Structure 1
Amino acid sequence: MDKQSRREAVRDWKERKVAVGVYAIRCAPTGEVWVAGSRNLDAQQNSLWFSLRTGGHGNRDLQTAWNAHGAEAFSFEPLERIDDEDLTPLGRADLIKTRERHWLATLGAKKAVG
């Protein structure tokens, strides 16, 4: 790849549209559901699974369930994608929190992080 192609590829990657939204983590054996918002839904599952595999996830209940049942018992489900093109960073954060609260109440779920 020549320098110009590389620069274009890097520029395209930096300018890509990142999916913002709310997701659920489900534990099949127990039926438990955890919900959280994310500024990058596409990368969120990898991040979660890594922290759970290494035993470093901040939610002790989720980590305990993961340790007891293993990775194959869990699923990652994007619940809602948020169109945030016209929002400021603060507006985006507020909207994510609002939609997260909606899904926590709707599913009777626990908060996944924080």
Structure 2
Amino acid sequence: MDSARKKALLQEYKQQKTYYGVIQIKNKLNGKIFIKAVPNTKNRWHFYQLNLNNNFYHGTPLQEDWNQLGAENFSFEVLWEKDTDKVTNMKQELKKLQKEWLEKLQPFADKGYNKPVND
């Protein structure tokens, strides 16, 4: 691929809309879920697969199940997303979103991989 084409593709990529949101990783065998509010939903599944395949979350129940059961027994879903254009404080927005979805889905203990948040 020539440099002009690479440059054009990079520019096109940069102009794509960005969405923040809430993602879910689900264990297909036991139904446990992991919920996370993320600043960019694009390619997030690849991000988690790479980290889990490299044992990045060692010592966590999600990592243990991933290692024992294999990637094929997990699914990924974007539960909610919104355009980032009007967000002025992403960190605050994600914290609020995370709390809201954890309260809604209660992905703790036998139901999930998240830990309850106290604030």
Fold conserved (TM > 0.5)?
A: yes
1:33 counterpart letter in structure 2: I
TM-score by length of 1: 0.81
What SS does the corresponding residue of 1:41 show, helix, strand or coil?
coil
**More helix per residue: 1 or 2?**
1
Structure 1 counterpart of 2:106, from 95, 99, 108: 108
Distance in 2 (CA, whole Å) between partners of 1:9 and 1:70 is: 34
SS at match of 1:80: strand
Residue 7 to residue 49, structure 1, CA distance change in 2 (3 Å): closer
Equivalent residue number for residue 65 of structure 1: 65
Letter in 1 for 2:114: K
Question: Please, what is the CA RMSD of the aligned residues?
Answer: 2.1
Q: Does structure 2 conserve the Cα–Cα contact (< 8 Å) formed by 1:48 and 1:57?
A: no
Alignment deviations for residues 2-47 of structure 1 (CA, whole Å, 9 cap, x no partner): 6655444322222221221110111122221110111221211001
**1:24–1:35 CA contact under 8 A, matched in 2:** yes
1:99 aligns with 2:97: yes
Query: In structure 2, do the counterparts of structure 1 residues 103 and 59 end up closer, same or farther at CA, with 3 Å as the change threshold?
Result: farther
Gaps of 5+ in 1: none
Do 2:58 and 2:64's aligned partners in 1 also have CA atoms closer than 8 Å? no
Unaligned residue ranges in structure 2 (runs of 5+): 108-112
For 1:15, give the aligned amino acid: Q
Pairing of 1:17-28 with structure 2 (within 5 A): 17-28=17-28
TM-score (norm 2): 0.78
SS at match of 1:111: coil
Give the superposition deviation at 1:58: 5.7
Q: State the distance in 1 between where 2:114 and 2:55 align.
A: 18
Q: Which residue of 1 aligns with 2:45?
A: 45
